[in-house]
A and B are shown apart, each in its own frame.
Chain A
């Protein structure tokens, strides 16, 4: 795998914190250039110039961090294009600075950890509900569903992402930990499963719909088919 392929791979680990989807599959990576010396230039774009600056900052900073960790990579620049606060964000990210330095005097939260956690909890709820619904559709009873352990989870993207999110949220994910948990880490109780799923379905719908609107707007703004993975490798 050449350096550019590895950079694109790494960018695929960066999630839009609000949608819990990789920025590559959302079409947020406009371009990615790698020189022979290992200098990397990544350009990011968002569906509208007014997309929330906090999420925009997180994606730009995360992109820079994952690429910098790669062997063979020298200098990394990540630039957010065509955004109301692009200049502020690009300057801070370029210097490796926290969020407060992007907007001096307007915020005192440097790593936006609380914001990130809030959306990781929503993402965990949404992804777990998909896994649960598959089990129920296959005929499992609520008791059987909640008796599942982490080791029983299938090796599919939703389950792998659940475990990543649990790691970020500090929720145990050992093989014998319950497979389905509340954001607090408590296991979902069998008697609460139906109600919990009803709520989870709402959260999941919200994330999916927002992702759909973002894709549509990005597509319109740049006249492209964002679902096409070729777009990233342009």
Chain B
């Protein structure tokens, strides 16, 4: 819980990692990809304030103590949600797997949620694995990473028929939250690989599932926003928006937040730090201090305490069924966090 100006905020960080990208974990012959990947992430970290930058060596593999300090103690995070990224073509034990995350989550059962993953190209084996994972880890969500390389294939889409079986399986297993992440992607090679139309398709086909679009569909925020106005079960994951823009490009941050609040709405936006790319502390504190700078933004929705409370934690708590302490809740007139109908209202404007 975080307290500022007499208000108490319940903080859910919707996107955290506990990765191992150290050279010892690089796949032989694929070193250039493993190295390139983590160095690219490291460059992203430089978009945050200088005092939060880490040396590359620490960034490749950080400790449990680092995680606990940065996320819980200094980061004010009440509950963190692990979004795994496997990348086993490049990292021997995977970059950031459910197993690795779950080990940490078991030590902090009230503070960490470990999400699973699936890949339709794994077929029957993948479906069985998903079932096992769901049972063993009591999965409430999965992170889908369509840019993953697998057996010579450079990516997949939520439109492909095999993906439907996995979505059905999620529904059957009570895995309600589907976190979709597109990039950095290169497939299909001749089309816009960041196109979110496949998520739109899945969201229409599976109205009971929630689709959280990580990084608000960046670099296709506009396509994401158009989709979110049409699909009541589509949500915005704010990782990278805050970390990548709030400090480095504050003018753009104002505009992106304004557009998201207008098109997607405060009930459907979820705070996320993308730790360890960026630490949550400066993002959370900066976000609480943030408002539009001037009159230029007068036709964007207002930012209120309720807006901040919902985005920082109440929306995600609702999607994941996390109990929120009484003192952090909102009065009834402030609306329902994670309310699906709001998107349609925004779309009608």
- Counting from the closest, the 10 A-B pairs by CB-CB distance are A109-B190, A50-B184, A206-B222, A107-B190, A210-B219, A220-B46, A107-B189, A212-B249, A206-B221, A49-B36
| A interface secondary structure, majority | helix
Rounded to whole Å, the gap between the CB of A180 and the closest CB of chain B is 19
What residues of chain A lie closer than 8 Å to B259, measured between beta carbons?
201-202, 205
Inside 8 A of A201's CB, which chain B residues have their CB? Answer: 259
Q: Are B43 and A48 in contact (CB under 8 A)?
A: yes
Question: What is the CB-to-nearest-CB distance from B148 to chain A, in angstroms, rounded to a whole number?
Answer: 13
Query: B residues bordering A, Cβ < 8 Å?
Result: 33, 36-37, 40, 43-44, 46-47, 154, 183-186, 188-194, 218-222, 225, 244-245, 248-249, 252, 255-256, 259, 263
Bound Cα distance from A118 to B223, whole angstroms: 12
Q: How far is the CA of A109 from the CA of B248 in the complex (A)?
A: 37
A53 lies within 8 A of chain B by Cβ:
yes
Complex formed: what's the CA distance from A52 to B154 in Å? 12
Chain B residues within an 8 Å CB radius of A50:
36-37, 40, 183-184, 186
Cβ of A221 within 8 Å of any chain B Cβ, yes or no, is: yes
Known: A217-B43, A220-B47. A206 touches B219 (CB 8 A): yes
Contacts of A48 in B (CB 8 A): 40, 43, 184
Can you name the residue of chain B whose Cβ is closest to the Cβ of A205? B255
The residue of chain B having its C-beta at the shortest distance from the C-beta of A50 within the complex is B184
A103 within 8 A of B: yes
Q: Is the CB of A209 within 8 A of B256?
A: yes
Known: A52-B186, A99-B190, A208-B252. A203 touches B154 (CB 8 A): no
* A115 and B190 alpha carbons, distance in the complex (Å): 7
In which size bucket is the chain A interface?
35 or more
Which residue of chain A lies nearest to B187 when distances are taken between CB atoms in the complex? A106
Would you call A129 an interface residue if the criterion is a C-beta within 8 Å of the partner chain's C-beta atoms?
A: no
Residues of A within 8 A of B222 (CB): 122, 202-203, 205-206
Choose among B37, B46, B190 the residue that contacts A108 (Cβ–Cβ < 8 A): B190
Q: B43 near A202 (CB under 8 angstroms)? A: no
Shortest distance in angstroms between A192's beta carbon and chain B's nearest beta carbon? 14
In contact, A209 and B249 (Cβ under 8 angstroms): yes
B186 lies within 8 A of A213 (CB): no
> Is A85 among interface residues, defined by CB-CB distance under 8 A?
yes
> Could you tell me if A209 and B190 are in contact, using CB atoms closer than 8 angstroms?
no
**Is A77 engaged at the interface, CB distance under 8 Å to the other chain?**
no
Within 186-234 of A, Cβ neighbours of B (below 8 Å) are at 201-203, 205-206, 208-210, 212-213, 216-217, 220-221
A30 partner residues in chain B, CB cutoff 8 A? none
Q: Give A121-145 interface residues, CB cut-off 8 Å to B.
A: 122
Give Cα A52–Cα B192 distance, bound, in whole angstroms: 9
Q: A48-B40, A216-B248 are in contact. Are A84 and B189 (CB under 8 A)?
A: no
- The 17 sampled A-B contact pairs (Cβ below 8 Å) are A50-B37, A50-B186, A84-B33, A84-B186, A85-B186, A106-B154, A109-B190, A109-B191, A119-B192, A202-B222, A206-B222, A208-B252, A209-B218, A209-B256, A210-B219, A213-B218, A217-B47
A112 contacts the other chain (Cβ, under 8 Å)?
yes
Q: Which residue of A lies closest to B45 (CB)?
A: A220
Q: Are B244 and A213 in contact (CB under 8 A)?
A: yes
Complex CA–CA separation, A212 to B192 (angstroms): 20
Q: Given the interface contacts A209-B245, A210-B219, does A221 sit within 8 Å of B186 by beta carbon?
A: no
- A54 part of interface (Cβ distance < 8 Å): yes
Complex contacts, B184 vs chain A, CB 8 Å? 48, 50-51
Bound CA span A208–B222, Å: 12
CB proximity of B184 to chain A, nearest CB, Å = 4
Q: Which residue of A lies closest to B221 (CB)?
A: A206
Q: How far apart are the CA atoms of A221 and B225 in the complex, in Å?
A: 30
A115: min CB distance to chain B, Å: 6
Q: A54-B190, A112-B190 are in contact. Are A213 and B225 (CB under 8 A)?
A: no
CB-CB under 8 A from B194, the residues of chain A are 52
Chain A 89-116 interface 0/1 with B at a Cβ cutoff of 8 Å (1 = within): 0000000000100010011110010110
Tell me whether B36 and A216 are in contact (CB under 8 A). no
User: Which residues does chain A contribute within 8 Å of B218, judged by CB atoms?
Assistant: 209-210, 213
Minimum C-beta distance from A187 to chain B (A) = 22
Report A-chain residues with C-beta under 8 Å of the C-beta of B190: 54, 99, 107-109, 112, 114-115
A18 within 8 A of B: yes
> Which chain B residues border A52 with CB–CB below 8 Å?
185-186, 193-194
